[in-house]
Structure 1
Amino acid sequence: MATLARLQARSASVARQYYYRNSVVDVFRKKENDAAVKIQSWFRGCRVRAYIRYLHRAATVIQKRWRGYLGRQHYQLIVKLAYYTMKMNLYNAMAVRIQRRWRGYKIRKYCFNYYYLKAYLKAVSETNEAVREALEEFADMKEREERKADLEKEEKKRDYQARKTHYLLSTKQIPGVYNSPFRKEPDPRELRLQKAKPLTHPRPKVTPKRSASLRNWLECTRARSFPRSAVLPPIDRKPCQGPFRDIAEVLAQRYKPLEPTLRVAEPIDGPKEARAELQRQEWTRNVQDKLFLPFSSYHKSKKHIPAMHLSSKYGPDSYGSQHFREKNPERWICDKDFQTVLPSFDLFSEYGKLYSKAGQIV
């Protein structure tokens, strides 16, 4: 009990002492914590680096052993290939020697014929001699032809020169240059000049000049007074005095293409032809040409009579839109229907095709 009483008496001082010690420790708590963290990080870093170095050394040893094993395997393979290649080369060399000896023996024993080879070589030499002689003859012939061509060319050149200098030929009164009176015989060129003909130059072709007068053009005395060709009149001429139009305009109007009237251009029986063409097209679309009859045996011998509203063609009536005249062929006077095409007016047809007294287009 005494101890409990003492502890209870000291409880206030213990609390103050505890608070004081904790407050003193709090001052150095952050610094000590940072120091502890740094020490732990450094220690852990040392441990990790040591472990990594250990792993590197172990990996290096493993790779060294494995690479050595692979290198030895590859080297053994290379050695085997080299040994096999050496044996094959030796085998091929020995086989070539054996085959060479055997083939030589076989050719000398069974195939080779000395006399046949000698005859073959003799035939080859004779053929070569024949070909050489033929080539020499051909070369001689070509050389002769070339010499002959050169001589002919030279002869033509001399003949041309003689014709060109034919004026140097001697006459009865005056001797020529090559016929000197102091020589016993005339020069050979004098004889060549006597045989040659004088050189004449070809005369230029004279083209007839076209007449530049407009008298035949302006005098409309013939039906074809204006030319139909594309030759244009000369430009450097003076225009004629008087109320005359340009010649090009007159020619264009005179020879302009035909302009037919409506009555000439279109056929007069156009509606009839169109109707016939429409009937032909309808006939080509029909499945059969026979009329449809009922299937009853009672009506087999009777012709079907359609109703009034079924006898006409379905569609709008053409009266009033296409024609205004009823067509009744029984009342026609002639074989044709009345034509509604009006004739053309002569006054309108001749518009722009006539001349007035003043020279203008009417």
Structure 2
Amino acid sequence: MATLARLQARSSTVGNQYYFRNSVVDPFRIKENDAAVKIQSWFRGCQVRAYIRHLNRIVTIIQKWWRSFLGRKQYQLTVQVAYYTMMMNLYNAMAVRKALEEFAEMKEREEKKANLEREEKKRNYQARKMHYLLSTKQIPGIYNSPFRKEPDPWELQLQKAKPLTHRRPKVKQKDSTSLNDWLACTSARSFPRSEILPPINRKQCQGPFRDITEVLEQRYKPLEPTLWVAEPINELKLAREELRREQWVRNVNDNMFLPFSSYHKNEKYIPSMHLSSKYCPISHKEQFRSENPKKWICDKDFQTVLPSFELFSKYGKLYSKAGQIV
């Protein structure tokens, strides 16, 4: 009862305390709620981001596997296409080579056949030309010798061949039966005429003669001279003359200079154009330097020419050639 009495006595102050305490706690509660919301949002964001990273990693792995599978399939298709292309190229090349070989064989067979036919025609023509060599009952031919066991194949060829006959083409005469020919008396029926005599049949000489083309080819064959006839006899002389001509072209002066000989003694001196001119040639002294005799120290002029060498001063006096004075 005492407790109840105390509570009743404090009832007026409990309401105020309750209101005051609630008013003080509300800001802290709001602050704690905001903090809890932030913590929960951050934690849930971390969870979501981790889950998204996990999904991204899984999707990347799945894409890798799928793209590798597609790449392998594409590579297999590319390899198969390349293999089929290579096989088709090989097959086409083999088919082309086979066709070319067949074409070459066909051409070779045709050429062989043509050569055989040409040789057969030539043999038949030769057999027809030599038909007169066929053996008879009385006289054996040259291809049917009695000393042989079997006759020569040419004997059988001559038996099958027919003799060669040369026939001249007949000249056709125009028979004009028009009215104008009758009136002009140009027709053969207008006046009786004697018949034209038949041409004389000149039989060709029988024998193993060659064709005219072969004879003409041999007759007009170009000349093939031998080395002895083709090369000139005086080839060495011509070569020396050619060498001498080339040396003469390269020379500047044709006259040979012989200092120690009497070859040039009897030759006439040919003066230069400067000295042989008639228009008062200038002396060398006036040409190269001016002289003033008033300034001379002595009566003689300076010696401007060097003395001659002893070797050339004795030229023609001491040297000799074969015991003669040069």
- What is the TM-score of this pair, normalised by structure 2? 0.32
- What is the TM-score of this pair, normalised by structure 1? 0.29
